[in-house]
Homo-oligomer: A and B are copies of this chain.
């Protein structure tokens, strides 16, 4: 191994430690830190972030990353170098002065968005959103290669290998599948969302039990409480779930427990050789999302999974489920009802929410659409795809924090992840009697197969490599479309 590589490795090891420390601070901020501490705490978090940024953008790291010949490295080394080059490129492509100005713009933009959402006042948000959009487009253009469109640059930041040329046909197929399914179902079933009431302490006890049952290792993780559920990982021996319990909607915490457990199981099952390195996390955003969706939907809404444990749920939360027949509970878990808010959406309508956002992002980054045109365009698409018009902009175009925070091009990862989840389930069904395994409560067999085929590699393989090696084919949405057809056709 050459000396330049060793030197780079040493810097990366230290940088990984900083990343882990920053993860922990962000966990703390979002779970237990007191509200009035925020502005002060931001100072020391800022100092540690700045240190990480300085480390990764130093001329020495740039020189080393550029100088090392990947051909002299083994497989893991190549993967690591690829990650580093990507990180360095992203962090250094923008002049420091402009980067700082953009960070300040984002602070203003986030606050303006929050206020606009609280007061249902899109007009006050439009000018600053337009600035964010223009800046993102300009920064993207700086990095565009060979006539790449700015939106493709942004898409590539979050998920490699999914430019508009891949996403357009994917989303067209998905739309062609889901829109009529939903329409027929709405007309035939008149489904409605049922909520159940259960004391918070009993919900907490059940969700802790459920996470462990699904395969989350509580001795290498923890559970906390927060506003919007998330998974936070320091390293594979400490991956945590932050959940939100609604007293009057106990199904909500059950779904998020399964979803966040999927993320955490992925992280916990990464091999120790990658602990606290740049290869220690998941392969990509969409691959991560595929694991959370797999546990949330393909496992956590299935009859076979709940059959053996529904009596436990009834015993642990008798107020909510004691008198509810199993069939009724299964129906509740699998309704498909159009509603305006993405994060409350069911499995079928979820992808329509994503498609709306994808089409609008493409329009305002590459197509010349203006921020001020967004509310009308948003509502038109909701009416067309979901058959509803959001009652307010708060429950419409203002609902997500992403755009105001500069996250443009991120939404498609959610749908790519959903499709990968179905592709993974199909492969597992070729490997084992999936339903029998679930009915026997042998989740370790499923977790074991995912560990061997996907999780243990961390980020040392790309999502594409993992999919080809595990399922025998590249990404393709047919399993997902078939799954939706099978499940939601009436």
Interface string of A213-234 (1 = CB under 8 A from B): 0000111111010000000001
Min distance, Cβ A66 to any Cβ of chain B, angstroms:
26
Q: Report the separation of the CA atoms of residues A276 and B47 in the bound assembly, to the nearest whole angstrom.
A: 12
Report A176-221 residues with CB < 8 Å from chain B CB.
201, 217-221
Residue of B nearest to A48 (CB): B21
Dominant secondary structure of chain A at its interface with chain B: helix
CB within 8 Å for A34 and B238 given contacts A17-B47, A21-B25 = yes
Interface string of A40-52 (1 = CB under 8 A from B): 1101110110010
Chain B residues closer than 8 Å to A47, beta-carbon distance: 14, 17-18, 21
Q: Report the separation of the CA atoms of residues A40 and B41 in the bound assembly, to the nearest whole angstrom.
A: 25
Does A36 sit at the interface, judged by CB under 8 A?
Answer: yes
State whether B17 touches A234 (Cβ < 8 A).
no
Min distance, Cβ A15 to any Cβ of chain B, angstroms:
10
CB within 8 Å for A237 and B48 given contacts A201-B201, A222-B32 = no
Residue of B nearest to A221 (CB): B34
CB < 8 Å: which of B18, B37, B237 contacts A237?
Answer: B37
CB within 8 Å for A34 and B276 given contacts A14-B47, A47-B17 = no
CB within 8 Å for A36 and B219 given contacts A17-B43, A21-B21 = yes
Q: How many A residues, CB 8 Å from partner?
A: 39
Interface string of A14-30 (1 = CB under 8 A from B): 10111011001101100
A selection of 28 A-B contacts at a CB cut-off of 8 Å is A17-B43, A17-B48, A18-B44, A18-B48, A20-B41, A20-B44, A21-B44, A21-B45, A24-B25, A24-B28, A28-B28, A32-B32, A32-B222, A32-B240, A33-B222, A34-B222, A34-B238, A35-B219, A36-B217, A37-B234, A37-B235, A40-B237, A40-B238, A40-B275, A41-B238, A43-B276, A44-B235, A44-B276
